[in-house]
A and B are shown apart, each in its own frame.
Chain A
Protein backbone atom coordinates (compact mmCIF):
# COMPACT_ATOMS: atom_id res chain seq x y z
CA UNK A 1 0.00 0.00 0.00
CA UNK A 2 2.66 2.44 1.09
CA UNK A 3 4.75 1.68 -1.94
CA UNK A 4 1.77 2.51 -4.19
CA UNK A 5 1.35 5.87 -2.46
CA UNK A 6 5.04 6.64 -2.87
CA UNK A 7 4.80 5.74 -6.55
CA UNK A 8 1.93 8.19 -7.06
CA UNK A 9 3.82 10.98 -5.26
CA UNK A 10 6.83 10.30 -7.43
CA UNK A 11 4.75 10.41 -10.62
CA UNK A 12 3.23 13.74 -9.55
CA UNK A 13 6.66 15.30 -8.98
CA UNK A 14 7.75 13.96 -12.33
CA UNK A 15 4.74 15.61 -14.03
CA UNK A 16 5.57 18.97 -12.41
CA UNK A 17 9.16 18.70 -13.54
CA UNK A 18 8.12 17.76 -17.06
CA UNK A 19 5.77 20.71 -17.31
CA UNK A 20 8.58 23.01 -16.18
CA UNK A 21 10.86 21.55 -18.82
CA UNK A 22 8.29 22.11 -21.52
CA UNK A 23 8.00 25.77 -20.52
CA UNK A 24 11.71 26.15 -20.99
CA UNK A 25 12.35 27.30 -17.44
CA UNK A 26 14.35 24.17 -16.72
CA UNK A 27 16.94 22.40 -18.78
CA UNK A 28 16.62 18.90 -17.58
CA UNK A 29 18.07 15.62 -18.60
CA UNK A 30 15.82 12.64 -18.79
CA UNK A 31 17.60 9.52 -17.68
CA UNK A 32 16.43 6.08 -16.75
CA UNK A 33 17.66 5.46 -13.24
CA UNK A 34 16.38 2.82 -10.96
CA UNK A 35 16.16 3.64 -7.27
CA UNK A 36 14.19 0.66 -6.13
CA UNK A 37 11.11 1.90 -7.98
CA UNK A 38 10.48 1.99 -11.65
CA UNK A 39 10.34 5.61 -12.91
CA UNK A 40 12.38 8.46 -14.36
CA UNK A 41 14.74 10.57 -12.25
CA UNK A 42 15.57 13.88 -13.83
CA UNK A 43 18.96 15.34 -13.06
CA UNK A 44 19.04 19.08 -13.51
CA UNK A 45 22.21 19.78 -15.43
CA UNK A 46 21.68 23.51 -15.85
CA UNK A 47 23.76 24.55 -12.81
CA UNK A 48 26.47 22.05 -13.76
CA UNK A 49 26.70 23.54 -17.25
CA UNK A 50 26.72 27.05 -15.74
CA UNK A 51 29.64 26.15 -13.45
CA UNK A 52 31.57 24.52 -16.30
CA UNK A 53 31.04 27.54 -18.55
CA UNK A 54 32.24 29.95 -15.87
CA UNK A 55 35.29 27.76 -15.12
CA UNK A 56 36.20 27.44 -18.80
CA UNK A 57 35.90 31.19 -19.41
CA UNK A 58 37.97 31.93 -16.28
CA UNK A 59 40.65 29.40 -17.29
CA UNK A 60 40.89 30.71 -20.85
CA UNK A 61 41.19 34.32 -19.68
CA UNK A 62 43.74 33.69 -16.95
CA UNK A 63 45.84 31.04 -18.67
CA UNK A 64 49.03 32.01 -20.41
CA UNK A 65 49.61 29.90 -23.48
CA UNK A 66 53.14 31.20 -23.95
CA UNK A 67 55.67 28.52 -23.26
CA UNK A 68 58.68 30.29 -21.78
CA UNK A 69 62.16 28.88 -21.43
CA UNK A 70 65.61 30.21 -20.61
CA UNK A 71 69.21 30.02 -21.74
CA UNK A 72 71.73 30.22 -18.93
CA UNK A 73 74.64 32.54 -19.66
CA UNK A 74 77.14 34.58 -17.74
CA UNK A 75 79.67 37.35 -18.32
CA UNK A 76 83.47 37.07 -18.09
CA UNK A 77 85.16 37.70 -14.77
CA UNK A 78 88.62 37.47 -13.30
CA UNK A 79 87.66 34.63 -10.99
CA UNK A 80 85.96 32.45 -13.60
CA UNK A 81 88.90 30.54 -14.94
CA UNK A 82 86.96 27.54 -16.21
CA UNK A 83 87.53 28.53 -19.82
CA UNK A 84 91.21 29.09 -19.18
CA UNK A 85 91.56 25.64 -17.58
CA UNK A 86 90.28 23.97 -20.74
CA UNK A 87 92.96 23.00 -23.21
CA UNK A 88 91.07 24.78 -25.97
CA UNK A 89 89.31 28.16 -25.75
CA UNK A 90 86.75 29.30 -28.30
CA UNK A 91 85.56 32.79 -29.06
CA UNK A 92 82.78 33.51 -31.52
CA UNK A 93 82.03 37.00 -32.85
CA UNK A 94 78.82 37.76 -34.69
CA UNK A 95 79.30 40.51 -37.25
CA UNK A 96 76.72 42.81 -38.74
CA UNK A 97 77.67 41.71 -42.28
CA UNK A 98 76.24 38.25 -41.43
CA UNK A 99 79.61 36.59 -41.06
CA UNK A 100 80.80 34.77 -37.96
CA UNK A 101 84.38 34.97 -36.74
CA UNK A 102 85.51 31.93 -34.84
CA UNK A 103 88.87 31.91 -33.10
CA UNK A 104 90.31 28.93 -31.29
CA UNK A 105 93.24 29.27 -28.91
CA UNK A 106 95.10 27.00 -26.53
CA UNK A 107 96.58 23.71 -27.72
CA UNK A 108 94.82 24.19 -31.03
CA UNK A 109 95.17 27.58 -32.69
CA UNK A 110 92.90 28.46 -35.53
CA UNK A 111 90.84 31.37 -36.85
CA UNK A 112 88.01 31.03 -39.29
CA UNK A 113 85.31 33.23 -40.75
CA UNK A 114 82.02 31.56 -41.51
CA UNK A 115 80.47 33.11 -44.59
CA UNK A 116 76.95 34.51 -44.63
CA UNK A 117 74.13 32.22 -45.64
CA UNK A 118 72.27 34.57 -47.95
CA UNK A 119 71.11 37.48 -45.80
CA UNK A 120 71.52 35.53 -42.62
CA UNK A 121 74.16 34.08 -40.34
CA UNK A 122 75.06 30.45 -40.85
CA UNK A 123 74.46 29.31 -37.29
CA UNK A 124 74.13 25.66 -38.28
CA UNK A 125 77.69 25.80 -39.71
CA UNK A 126 78.79 27.27 -36.39
CA UNK A 127 77.17 24.35 -34.53
CA UNK A 128 78.91 21.88 -36.86
CA UNK A 129 82.32 23.50 -36.28
CA UNK A 130 81.78 23.47 -32.53
CA UNK A 131 80.74 19.83 -32.62
CA UNK A 132 83.85 18.73 -34.49
CA UNK A 133 85.96 20.79 -32.07
CA UNK A 134 84.23 19.19 -29.10
CA UNK A 135 84.93 15.75 -30.54
CA UNK A 136 88.63 16.61 -30.66
CA UNK A 137 88.76 18.30 -27.26
CA UNK A 138 86.37 16.67 -24.76
CA UNK A 139 87.20 19.08 -21.92
CA UNK A 140 85.80 21.97 -23.92
CA UNK A 141 82.54 23.13 -22.30
CA UNK A 142 82.73 26.91 -22.44
CA UNK A 143 82.54 29.37 -25.26
CA UNK A 144 82.76 33.15 -25.33
CA UNK A 145 80.18 34.77 -27.55
CA UNK A 146 80.26 38.41 -28.58
CA UNK A 147 78.47 40.49 -31.16
CA UNK A 148 78.91 43.81 -32.90
CA UNK A 149 76.79 46.76 -31.78
CA UNK A 150 74.22 46.48 -34.56
CA UNK A 151 73.45 42.83 -33.89
CA UNK A 152 70.14 42.35 -32.15
CA UNK A 153 69.32 40.23 -29.11
CA UNK A 154 67.26 37.89 -31.31
CA UNK A 155 70.30 36.90 -33.34
CA UNK A 156 72.46 36.55 -30.23
CA UNK A 157 69.86 34.15 -28.81
CA UNK A 158 69.89 32.17 -32.07
CA UNK A 159 73.66 31.81 -31.75
CA UNK A 160 73.31 30.82 -28.09
CA UNK A 161 70.69 28.21 -29.01
CA UNK A 162 72.91 26.59 -31.64
CA UNK A 163 76.02 26.74 -29.44
CA UNK A 164 74.19 25.28 -26.42
CA UNK A 165 73.57 22.10 -28.39
CA UNK A 166 77.28 21.42 -28.15
CA UNK A 167 78.66 23.52 -25.31
CA UNK A 168 76.72 24.01 -22.06
CA UNK A 169 78.44 27.19 -20.85
CA UNK A 170 78.13 30.39 -22.82
CA UNK A 171 79.92 33.55 -21.70
CA UNK A 172 78.68 36.78 -23.24
CA UNK A 173 81.80 38.79 -23.95
CA UNK A 174 82.60 42.26 -25.23
Chain B
Protein backbone atom coordinates (compact mmCIF):
# COMPACT_ATOMS: atom_id res chain seq x y z
CA UNK B 1 0.00 0.00 0.00
CA UNK B 2 1.29 3.42 -0.95
CA UNK B 3 2.06 5.80 1.85
CA UNK B 4 0.31 9.18 1.86
CA UNK B 5 2.06 12.52 1.92
CA UNK B 6 1.19 13.05 5.55
CA UNK B 7 3.08 10.00 6.59
CA UNK B 8 6.23 10.99 4.78
CA UNK B 9 9.16 11.61 7.08
CA UNK B 10 10.96 14.90 7.02
CA UNK B 11 14.68 14.65 6.35
CA UNK B 12 16.71 14.44 9.52
CA UNK B 13 19.51 17.01 9.72
CA UNK B 14 22.60 16.20 11.65
CA UNK B 15 22.93 18.19 14.84
CA UNK B 16 26.38 19.56 14.02
CA UNK B 17 25.59 20.52 10.41
CA UNK B 18 27.74 23.56 9.56
CA UNK B 19 25.95 26.63 8.28
CA UNK B 20 26.81 27.22 4.61
CA UNK B 21 27.37 30.92 4.34
CA UNK B 22 29.21 31.00 1.03
CA UNK B 23 26.02 31.78 -0.87
CA UNK B 24 25.07 34.39 1.72
CA UNK B 25 28.46 36.06 1.28
CA UNK B 26 27.92 36.04 -2.50
CA UNK B 27 24.52 37.72 -2.17
CA UNK B 28 25.91 40.29 0.26
CA UNK B 29 28.80 41.07 -2.04
CA UNK B 30 26.51 41.61 -5.06
CA UNK B 31 24.20 43.78 -2.96
CA UNK B 32 27.13 45.84 -1.71
CA UNK B 33 28.56 46.38 -5.20
CA UNK B 34 25.11 47.45 -6.47
CA UNK B 35 24.60 49.86 -3.59
CA UNK B 36 28.06 51.37 -3.88
CA UNK B 37 27.56 51.89 -7.61
CA UNK B 38 24.21 53.59 -7.03
CA UNK B 39 25.73 55.63 -4.22
CA UNK B 40 28.64 56.96 -6.27
CA UNK B 41 26.65 57.77 -9.41
CA UNK B 42 23.84 59.54 -7.57
CA UNK B 43 26.02 61.21 -4.97
CA UNK B 44 25.22 64.84 -4.45
CA UNK B 45 25.23 67.12 -1.46
CA UNK B 46 21.92 68.59 -2.60
CA UNK B 47 19.21 67.17 -0.41
CA UNK B 48 15.72 68.70 -0.34
CA UNK B 49 14.58 69.83 3.11
CA UNK B 50 12.25 67.66 5.16
CA UNK B 51 8.67 67.91 3.95
CA UNK B 52 9.54 69.60 0.67
CA UNK B 53 8.06 68.00 -2.42
CA UNK B 54 9.98 68.86 -5.54
CA UNK B 55 8.20 68.69 -8.89
CA UNK B 56 8.66 65.46 -10.82
CA UNK B 57 9.71 65.36 -14.44
CA UNK B 58 10.57 62.73 -17.01
CA UNK B 59 13.75 64.32 -18.27
CA UNK B 60 16.00 67.10 -17.05
CA UNK B 61 19.50 68.47 -17.22
CA UNK B 62 22.45 67.40 -15.11
CA UNK B 63 22.69 68.97 -11.67
CA UNK B 64 25.82 70.82 -10.58
CA UNK B 65 26.84 72.29 -7.25
CA UNK B 66 25.88 75.93 -6.73
CA UNK B 67 24.40 78.28 -4.15
CA UNK B 68 21.02 77.01 -2.95
CA UNK B 69 17.78 78.90 -2.39
CA UNK B 70 15.01 76.87 -0.80
CA UNK B 71 11.36 77.93 -0.87
CA UNK B 72 9.05 76.11 1.54
CA UNK B 73 5.59 77.00 2.80
CA UNK B 74 7.07 78.64 5.91
CA UNK B 75 10.47 80.07 4.95
CA UNK B 76 13.02 80.99 2.35
CA UNK B 77 16.49 79.67 3.08
CA UNK B 78 19.74 80.72 1.52
CA UNK B 79 22.29 77.90 1.65
CA UNK B 80 20.35 76.37 4.55
CA UNK B 81 20.04 79.58 6.58
CA UNK B 82 16.56 81.12 6.88
CA UNK B 83 16.41 84.62 5.45
CA UNK B 84 12.69 85.29 5.62
CA UNK B 85 9.54 83.63 6.88
CA UNK B 86 6.45 82.87 4.84
CA UNK B 87 2.87 82.13 5.76
CA UNK B 88 1.51 79.46 3.46
CA UNK B 89 3.96 80.54 0.71
CA UNK B 90 2.95 84.20 1.09
CA UNK B 91 5.29 87.02 2.14
CA UNK B 92 4.54 89.29 5.04
CA UNK B 93 3.99 92.79 3.74
CA UNK B 94 6.88 94.26 5.77
CA UNK B 95 9.35 91.74 4.29
CA UNK B 96 8.94 93.23 0.83
CA UNK B 97 10.35 96.52 -0.29
CA UNK B 98 8.32 99.08 -2.21
CA UNK B 99 9.71 97.58 -5.46
CA UNK B 100 8.47 94.16 -4.42
CA UNK B 101 11.86 92.71 -3.52
CA UNK B 102 12.80 90.63 -0.49
CA UNK B 103 15.25 92.83 1.40
CA UNK B 104 16.70 90.10 3.60
CA UNK B 105 17.35 87.83 0.61
CA UNK B 106 18.89 90.71 -1.29
CA UNK B 107 21.27 91.43 1.60
CA UNK B 108 22.14 87.74 1.95
CA UNK B 109 22.90 87.33 -1.74
CA UNK B 110 24.85 90.59 -1.90
CA UNK B 111 27.08 89.36 0.93
CA UNK B 112 27.82 86.20 -1.08
CA UNK B 113 28.87 88.07 -4.18
CA UNK B 114 31.24 86.08 -6.35
CA UNK B 115 33.10 86.88 -9.55
CA UNK B 116 30.30 85.27 -11.53
CA UNK B 117 27.53 87.16 -9.77
CA UNK B 118 29.41 90.43 -10.28
CA UNK B 119 29.24 89.74 -14.00
CA UNK B 120 25.55 88.89 -13.71
CA UNK B 121 26.14 85.19 -14.29
CA UNK B 122 25.78 83.87 -10.75
CA UNK B 123 24.34 80.38 -10.66
CA UNK B 124 21.55 79.64 -8.21
CA UNK B 125 19.93 76.29 -7.47
CA UNK B 126 16.24 76.85 -6.75
CA UNK B 127 14.66 74.16 -4.57
CA UNK B 128 11.00 75.05 -4.33
CA UNK B 129 8.05 73.03 -3.16
CA UNK B 130 5.81 72.08 -6.06
CA UNK B 131 2.85 73.94 -4.47
CA UNK B 132 4.70 77.26 -4.46
CA UNK B 133 2.67 79.93 -6.29
CA UNK B 134 4.34 81.40 -9.35
CA UNK B 135 4.25 84.88 -7.84
CA UNK B 136 6.32 83.82 -4.81
CA UNK B 137 8.83 82.08 -7.06
CA UNK B 138 9.05 85.09 -9.34
CA UNK B 139 9.61 87.46 -6.40
CA UNK B 140 12.57 85.34 -5.28
CA UNK B 141 14.01 85.14 -8.80
CA UNK B 142 13.61 88.87 -9.43
CA UNK B 143 15.32 89.71 -6.12
CA UNK B 144 18.21 87.36 -6.92
CA UNK B 145 18.56 88.77 -10.44
CA UNK B 146 19.05 92.27 -9.03
CA UNK B 147 22.13 91.11 -7.12
CA UNK B 148 23.69 89.44 -10.15
CA UNK B 149 22.37 85.90 -9.70
CA UNK B 150 20.63 85.37 -13.00
CA UNK B 151 21.38 81.78 -13.95
CA UNK B 152 18.60 79.82 -12.25
CA UNK B 153 18.59 76.05 -12.05
CA UNK B 154 15.15 74.80 -11.07
CA UNK B 155 15.76 71.56 -9.18
CA UNK B 156 13.38 68.71 -10.01
CA UNK B 157 13.11 65.02 -9.24
CA UNK B 158 13.56 62.73 -12.20
CA UNK B 159 10.77 60.20 -12.29
CA UNK B 160 12.48 56.96 -13.37
Contacts and interface: CB of A to CB of B under 8 A. Distances in A.
Contact of A27 (B21, B63, B130): B21
A36 to B, nearest CB: 24
A154 B130 contact: yes
Contacts, number: 160
Interface stretch (A2-10, A68-76, A101-109): A68-76
B21 to A, nearest CB: 5
Interface residues of A, number: 49
A interface majority secondary structure? mixed
B28 to A, nearest CB: 4
Interface stretch (A81-89, A112-120, A135-143, A145-153): A145-153
Given A22-B16, A151-B133, A62 B39 contact: yes
B151 interface: yes
Contact of A70 (B62, B128, B134): B62
B141 interface: yes
Given A48-B25, A52-B32, A152-B131, A157 B154 contact: yes
Nearest to B60: A69
A69 B36 contact: no
